[in-house]
Every structure is written in structure tokens, then in C-alpha cells.
């Protein structure tokens, strides 16, 4: 099934049911990876799982592709002998098929055929002649480099044997995969490592390329003084009620307060909460803020809906839930599709300022940098204070310079006088 309006193909990540299992209507039979999340597929009919046509791990499976056959009551599995599905095009076959696993040919089982992509073992490696490739996520590679973990000795538990962060951390904790101390510098015989593009990465590339090519971007930057914001955040968290274990009911982050300030600014300047269509500018009646969340190998923008009407503690709890489910691939399409305005915060990475690419069809995205201490002249005295740089990217078809400036002025008022967000 198509699990989102833009989905054209997916990866059959896992079969929950196997051949011979009884299937009832509503049972989860498989897990499908889309470009944004992993979704469960439920059976719409009942019967016996007679034959699986698309093996687990198959990539590039088109929407509406036949993936399995059910037997009705009274039907025998023998009726499926000789039934063959159309093979997916080369490049869309499963990793199992590409490895040359035994195929049923004329009722006989053929021997596995060695191929260039035959894996060495379950450690995420594939050997091509004398070349060894280690399949690991970028985060896993970075942690391995920092901790001195030899990836060639790590067993991957991710999709298709890919090494993920947890595998590296476990290997590092056990001490069994530590790299021997380097005795000198030398070239790696493997000049590069190819990391296959996931469906998410392909979608990001396509949408952002279209955004930069088709949307006339312009940028406005404002510096916000955040001393009062930091003080308010500290007081809010100190006032949080605690349970018997002493755990606070909420812990508001700086990003939660920025989301609220954005929402209040959009309520005040609704012309910035809009998108472009060929026939009209579509101005949204609700303030739904999309927040960029980094994932292993990509990003996603879950939505805080009606953010202008929610308390800071509610926004904080909602964002924690959205982030956790986003990183587990459990978001529902309605939780990340839509939104009228986007927010991207790289301040926690120490980035002072940056310009973000608009997330179409939205008209604006706000890029938030890190807070930094600056010395300014105030009342004839030099004073150390905290500032944060924020850059608004605007679609000039939707938002003119004056509208963008008015929004940033409203946003800065809420940041510099956070009490106004509570009114």
C-alpha cells in the first residue's frame, strides 16, 4: 500500500508472519520502510499465508506490488506450486537475491553463486575481490573513530547487517574490538567507502534541490538577547513539581521556548504563516510549527500543532515524544506531513549562524544558532550579555522583506521578554 501521498516505492523491512501462519483481518503481517518512517502493514483479509513473493529486505518495491498470497479456507498449498511473481528490476532486488542465495530452479535447489556483493559474515562487511567494504551508519563510524573501535570486528545488527551506534558501543564496552595502537601514519588501501542512499536521503536530496532551484530565497538575520530567556527557563524548571523519586514533571529546553516564540510571532504576523500556489497565496489559520530533527542518516520535521495555544511544558513533553518516535521510525504520516513554518536549531552543535533551505511548500524557515557571550555598551558601562543569532529564509513569492522583518521583530520581542509568551 501507499503509506504516504508521495510514496512510490518502499523497502519490505520485515515479515511479521511466515508461510503457514493463520492470518486474521487486522493482523500486522509486515513492516514497510518508507522514505520517512517504518510502518506496519495490516491484513485486510483472512486466511493462511500461502506464499511470500517478495523476500524480507527487498528494496525499491513499487507501490501496489504483489508481495504475498493468502490461501482461503479449504485451499491447499499445492495449488501454489509453480506460481511465480514477476521479478523486480535489477537494482530493486533484495539483498538476499543479490547475494546469490539458492534459487528454486525446476524443482531443484541451485548452489549459491558467489557474487561481487557476497557478505563475509554478519558484521556488515561485503568483500569484492580484494576490496573490503564495511557497511556502518555515519554515527557508528564517528563513534568508532573516537573510541578506537575496529569496525571489521563488529557484528552489525542493523538492516542488512549494517553496523549501528549500539553495536559500536557494545563492542567498545566489551573491549573485544579495540584497534591496536597506531605505530605510524599510512594510507588506507580502500580509497573510499560507499554508503548506499536510503529512501530518506533520496527524498531529502530531491526536495531540497527543487527548493533551491525553484524557490527565490532571501535571508534576514537578527540578534536576540537571551539573558531573560535563560533566567525564565531556569525559574520554570525550578518550579516544576516533583514526584516521589524527586523527578521533575517537566524540563523545558531553550528550543521549546524558541518554538513557542515562533508560534506567538506567527500569530501576531499571520502573513508569514503561508505557502505559495500558482493560483493563490495560502495563509494558514492554525499555527503548526515543523521542527527539524536529526536522524541517523537524514532528518525529519515532526510538527507541533497549534503551538501558539500550548504551554511550554506541553510543548516540551510533545517534542520529547516526537523526537523519540522519529528516531525509532514510529511517527505517523500526519505527524510530519504539513505544517506552515519550519524551525531548524543547530545551536546545540555550537553553530553561530547559518541559512536554512526552505521546506516546500512552506514559505519560511528559521535557522537558530548558538548563544554566545558578547560585551556591549549599556548606560555608559561595558556589560557582558548573551546573544543568539537567528536567520529567516523566506520565499519571496509569499513573504516580502517587510513581512519577514515584522515577523522577526515580533519573534525577538518574545525571546527578549519571555513573560509575554505566557500572556
| Active-site annotation holder among 396, 397, 406, 416 | 396
Counting Cβ atoms within 10 Å, is residue 81 exposed (0-12), middle (13-18) or buried (19+)?
exposed
Q: Measured between alpha carbons, how far is 157 from 134 in angstroms, rounded to an integer?
A: 13
Q: Measured between alpha carbons, how far is 136 from 131 in angstroms, rounded to an integer?
A: 16
Report which DSSP code applies to 337: S
What angle separates helix 227-238 from helix 401-416, to the nearest 10 degrees? 50
Q: Measured between alpha carbons, how far is 336 from 283 in angstroms, rounded to an integer?
A: 19
Q: Grid coordinates representing 37?
A: 518512517
Residues whose CB falls within 8 Å of the CB of residue 363, separated by 6 or more in sequence, listed in order? 272, 273, 274, 275, 276, 340, 341, 394, 395, 397, 398, 399
Under DSSP, is residue 268 helix (H, G, I), strand (E, B) or coil?
helix
| CB 9, CB 34: distance < 8 Å | no
Under DSSP, is residue 123 helix (H, G, I), strand (E, B) or coil?
coil
* 160 assigned to active site: no
Where in the sequence numbering do the catalytic residues fall?
396
Amino acid at each position: 500500500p501507499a503509506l504516504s501521498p508521495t510514496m512510490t516505492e518502499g523497502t519490505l523491512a520485515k515479515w511479521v508472519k511466515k508461510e503457514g501462519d493463520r492470518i486474521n483481518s487486522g493482523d500486522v503481517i509486515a513492516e514497510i520502510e518508507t522514505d520517512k518512517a517504518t510502518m506496519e502493514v495490516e491484513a485486510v483479509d483472512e486466511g493462511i499465508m500461502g506464499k511470500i513473493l517478495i523476500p524480507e529486505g527487498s528494496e525499491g518495491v513499487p507501490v501496489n506490488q504483489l508481495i504475498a498470497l493468502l490461501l482461503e479456507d479449504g485451499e491447499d498449498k499445492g495449488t501454489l506450486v509453480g506460481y511465480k511473481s514477476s521479478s523486480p528490476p535489477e537494482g530493486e532486488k533484495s539483498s538476499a537475491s543479490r547475494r546469490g542465495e539458492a534459487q528454486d530452479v525446476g524443482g531443484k535447489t541451485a548452489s549459491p553463486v558467489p557474487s561481487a556483493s557476497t557478505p563475509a559474515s554478519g558484521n556488515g562487511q561485503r568483500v569484492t575481490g580484494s576490496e573490503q567494504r564495511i557497511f556502518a551508519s555515519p554515527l557508528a563510524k564517528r563513534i568508532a573513530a573516537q573510541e578506537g573501535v575496529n569496525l571489521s570486528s563488529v557484528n552489525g545488527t542493523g538492516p542488512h547487517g549494517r553496523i549501528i551506534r549500539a553495536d559500536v558501543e557494545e563492542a567498545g564496552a566489551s573491549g573485544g574490538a579495540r584497534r591496536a595502537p597506531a605505530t605510524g601514519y599510512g594510507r588506507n588501501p580502500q580509497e573510499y567507502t560507499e554508503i548506499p542512499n536510503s529512501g530518506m536521503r533520496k527524498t531529502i536530496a530531491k526536495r531540497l534541490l527543487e527548493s533551491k532551484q525553484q524557490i527565490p530565497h532571501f535571508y534576514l538575520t537578527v540578534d536576540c538577547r537571551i539573558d531573560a530567556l535563560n533566567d525564565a527557563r531556569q525559574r520554570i524548571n525550578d518550579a516544576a513539581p516533583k514526584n516521589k523519586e524527586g523527578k521533575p514533571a517537566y524540563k523545558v529546553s531553550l528550543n521549546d521556548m524558541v518554538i513557542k516564540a515562533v508560534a506567538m510571532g506567527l500569530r501576531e504576523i499571520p502573513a508569514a504563516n503561508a505557502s505559495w500556489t500558482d493560483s493563490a497565496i495560502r495563509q494558514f489559520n492554525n499555527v503548526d510549527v515543523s521542527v527539524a530533527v536529526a536522524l541517523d542518516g537524514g532528518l525529519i520535521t515532526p510538527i507541533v500543532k497549534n503551538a501558539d495555544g500550548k504551554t511550554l511544558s506541553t510543548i516540551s513533553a510533545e517534542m520529547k515524544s516526537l523526537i523519540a518516535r522519529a528516531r525509532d521510525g514510529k511517527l505517523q504520516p500526519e505527524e510530519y506531513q504539513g505544517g506552515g513554518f519550519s524551525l531548524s536549531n543547530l545551536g546545540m552543535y555550537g553553530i553561530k549562524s547559518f541559512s536554512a533551505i526552505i521546506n516546500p511548500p512552506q514559505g519560511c524557515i528559521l535557522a537558530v544558532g548558538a548563544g554566545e557571550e558578547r560585551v556591549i555598551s549599556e548606560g555608559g558601562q561595558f556589560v557582558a550579555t548573551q546573544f543568539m543569532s537567528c536567520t529567516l529564509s523566506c520565499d519571496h513569492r509569499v513573504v516580502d522583506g517587510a513581512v519577514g522583518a515584522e515577523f522577526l521583530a515580533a519573534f525577538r520581542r518574545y525571546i527578549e521578554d519571555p513573560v509575554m509568551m505566557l500572556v
